[in-house]
Amino acid sequence: MTKKHTIILQPSGSRGQVDEGMSVRSAARELGVEIESICAENATCGKCMVLIEEGRFEKYNIDSRRENVSPVSTEEAAYFARRPKLLKDKGWEVGQVRLSCQCKIRGDVLINVPEESRGNKQIVRKSATERAIEVKPAIRKYLVTMTPPNLERPIADWERLAKGLETSMALVRGTEEKLPRWYELGIDYQCLRTLSKTLREAKWNVTVSVWQDKEVIEVQAGYVEDSYGAAVDIGSTTVALYLCNLRTGEMLAAESEMNPQIVYGEDVMSRIQYAIENPDGLEKLHKAIISTLNKLLKQAAHEAKIKMSEILEMVLVGNSTMHHVLLNLHPKDLGLAPFVPTIHRSMDIKARELGLHINPSGNIHVLPTIASFVGADTSAMIVAEEPHKQDENWLLIDVGTNAELILGNRKRLVCTSTPTGPALEGAHVEYGMRAAPGAMERIVIDENTLEPKYKVIGVTGWNTDHAEFKGQVKGICGSAIIDGVAELFRAGIVDSRGKFKQGLDSKRIRKGESGWEYVIAWAEETSIGRDIPMTQQDVRQIQLAKAALFTAARTLLNRSGLESPDKIILAGGFGSYIDKEKAMLIGLIPDCELDKVYAVGNAAGDGARIALLNVEKRNEIDGVTRKVERFELPTDPEFQNQFMLATSFPHMSEPFPHIAHLIPNRKADPMAKNFMSK
Ligand code: FES
């Protein structure tokens, strides 16, 4: 019998067992991942390049090694020998990078399929929202005209410029403003090194960029009006960058890319674990994100037709793990009790220290973190949504593999976080996949006939709108998983405990390899040639994820003495695509008036953009985050009881009046009082 080995493909997260000796490209196809080729696998096009990742991947229980694929063949060596520049630009070495059509599986291996090799490119769902932002940037430009030095007044270049700058700043801003005197101004060392040359070449007529009214970070010849900045949201899955004009506030480019760290772990805990277990783990994670940021900066600068050196500031946000890895701070204490970050407060660092390819004297501002798993992305969400200025109690939820929650109003804000696992994003669900062409994004089940209909990304309308619907679907993405589970419950196929009911008259309900399941798409409708069901196991995964999220929300409500929030704000790409009624029907979110539930898209990215364009918001958020009260869920005595109650649809004891009409045959659950009385 042919030996089998485990292969994991990232960033898709596809995994499975394949036969020894199979080429990596064929194995990927078998697991539903298409890798490009235009040379019929002749080792000449290079479109099929993949990276063999090395290290221990505890989560998958594999040791991935280069020796676990066949040695570099003569054809591959010849191909790479013709491409030294490509290898240099990408920082790859032969053996790490392989032609997937040539190398053969010999053991367990984790393979990273780079963007350019992917057959079906991912749709990255992160976009900036239109928001009114008052533009008060940290960087201002001033034109300074000086008299050249002479023997009577041989004042040094910097002092001459600083005195001229003091006059220009007062003229531009008005003398009533509190401005520093010339001797209080500083100059960045890198900028100082070219100062004499610039002043002379510019004939003593220059534009000076001053950061926060205290430090000169750039001196340009003549009159220059604009400077630029970038706001970045580093998510565990996606990195989104917005390039803005710092004078007008206009957004000039928006770029996004999958987070390359995904090859080292899908969620933050597995990345922390990777950094702990591999001596060079942190370095690999850090370099991966810095190189992606540089790539996005380059693309954005190209799009906006500016030089990267004209970008003078960046504001970066991300969850606590992304924050630490970005700053090259070891994240191990975030994952170990008592779960403390290295730093909470916001930071300003020179771009050159992080190796970011903007102006080397440019500033990198990182928003503050709030708790071990409530990071700078949540701070940015607060900047964007401003719950601290409301009279009503708002509940803000950023849904992802880790959910962060903030509840409160102008008087008090409380926060917590909970791991929800990757199930809500389509992983760990048998036919789950990320939002990409071929993924189901909506599912409805007729409660009378028990027949489904669904929508697929990349195809217009419902599958039932097309007379012939064949070969279009290959999996279920996060929004459809919520839909699917909610519809199974609403149509009476699964009960409030999430169990499949017996004896229903539908050929779609059957006993599969892992228990009861409901077939949403028959094999002929799919591109994978297999029926796509939702299984008992899938329902269970969603129950655990939604119970974790609901329990976190309930804990915050209880701690605030509230029954329900006045308004629920769902942030993050996932929140934008879920059907709020269905999310409430399965009890993913607490009961609330449905028209008071809003999806706000990438609020963290918007918050980063606001903090980039308005420096006052940075001080404001520093003050707000210092006062936010944090709750760690596992230490809450009620946690286990609440979690058990929350595994039912929508909940074992809470009434959910706003979606009660959708709940099939709801009776008071006799189990509820057992848990309630504990
Ligand atoms: S498919 Fe062309 S080089 Fe592999």
Which strand ranges, in their side-by-side order, compose the sheet holding 394-398?
A: 597-599, 567-571, 394-398, 402-408, 413-419, 629-630
Cβ(473)–Cβ(442) below 8 Å: no
pLDDT over 80 at 430, yes or no: no
The two three-digit tokens of residue 676, written as one number: 């309630």
**This prediction's pTM:** 0.79
- Condensed to tens digits (0 to 9), the pLDDT of residues 311-336 reads 999 999 999 999 999 999 999 999 88
Label residues 195-229 b or e (16+ Cβ within 10 Å = b).
beebbeebebebbbbbbbbebbbbbeeeeeeebbb
Site to substitute for ligand 1 among 34, 44, 97, most atoms within 8 A of C-beta: 44
H-only helix segments in 434-535:
478-490
Neighbours of 58 (CB within 10 A): 14
CATH tag for 4-117 (out of 3.10.20.30, 3.90.1150.140, 3.20.20.70, 3.10.50.40): 3.10.20.30
Question: In this predicted model, what pLDDT tens digit does every residue of 572-612 receive, in sequence order?
Answer: 777 778 899 999 999 999 999 999 999 888 899 999 999 99
pLDDT in tens, 230-264: 999 998 888 999 999 998 899 999 999 888 898 88
Domains 4-117 and 139-221 share a fold: yes
Rounded to an integer, what distance in angstroms lies between the CA atom of residue 509 and that of residue 129?
42
Q: What SS3 state is found at 612?
A: helix
Q: How far is the CA of 44 from the centre of ligand 1 (A)?
A: 6
Please state whether beta strands 567-571 and 597-599 pair in parallel, antiparallel, or not at all (unpaired): parallel
User: In this predicted model, what pLDDT tens digit does every residue of 95-154 receive, in sequence order?
Assistant: 999 999 999 999 999 999 987 787 755 444 445 566 778 889 999 999 899 999 989 888
Q: Token pair for residue 365?
A: 């501002």
Which mutation among 34, 35, 37 tests ligand 1's pocket best, with the greatest number of atoms within 8 A of CB?
A: 37
Atom 2 of ligand 1: nearest residue by CA position: 45
Q: For residue 614, how many other CB atoms are within 10 A of its CB?
A: 18
> Residues 599, 603, 604, CA angle at the centre, nearest 5°?
145
Span 164-217, pLDDT tens digits: 999 888 877 766 567 888 889 999 999 999 999 999 999 999 999 999 999 999
139-221 sits in which CATH class?
alpha beta
Phi, psi at 442, each rounded to 5°? -140, 145
Q: Report whether 480 contacts 435 (CB < 8 A).
A: no
Residues in the chain: 678
**How is residue 370 written in tokens?**
């709030």
Counting from 1 in the atom list of ligand 1, the atom nearest the Cα of 101 is: 4
What's phi and psi for 509, nearest 5 deg? -95, 120
Query: Ligand 1 atom closest to Cα of 40?
Result: 1
Substitution candidate for ligand 1 out of 83, 101, 117 with most atoms within 8 A of CB: 101
The mean pLDDT of 485-500, rounded to a whole number, is: 95
Beta bridge partners of 414: 407, 629
Give the residue extent of every domain in the chain.
4-117, 139-221, 379-422+542-677, 426-536
Which residues' Cβ are closer than 6 Å to ligand 1?
37, 39, 41, 43-48, 99, 101
Q: What is the DSSP string of 388-403?
A: GG-SS-EEEEE-SSEE
Q: Quick one: pLDDT band at residue 372, thresholds 50, 70, 90?
A: confident
**Which amino acid, residue 309?**
S
How many A from CA of 104 to the centre of ligand 1? 13
Question: What's the mean pLDDT when you consider all of the chain?
Answer: 89
Q: Among the atoms of ligand 1, which is closest to the Cα of residue 41? A: 1
Residue in 24, 42, 72, 73 to alter for ligand 1 test, most ligand atoms within 8 A of Cβ: 42
Closest CA to 488 of 445, 538, 520, 532: 445
Which of ligand 1's atoms lies nearest the C-alpha of 39?
Answer: 2
For ligand 1, the distance from its centroid to the CA atom of residue 85, given in whole angstroms, is 18
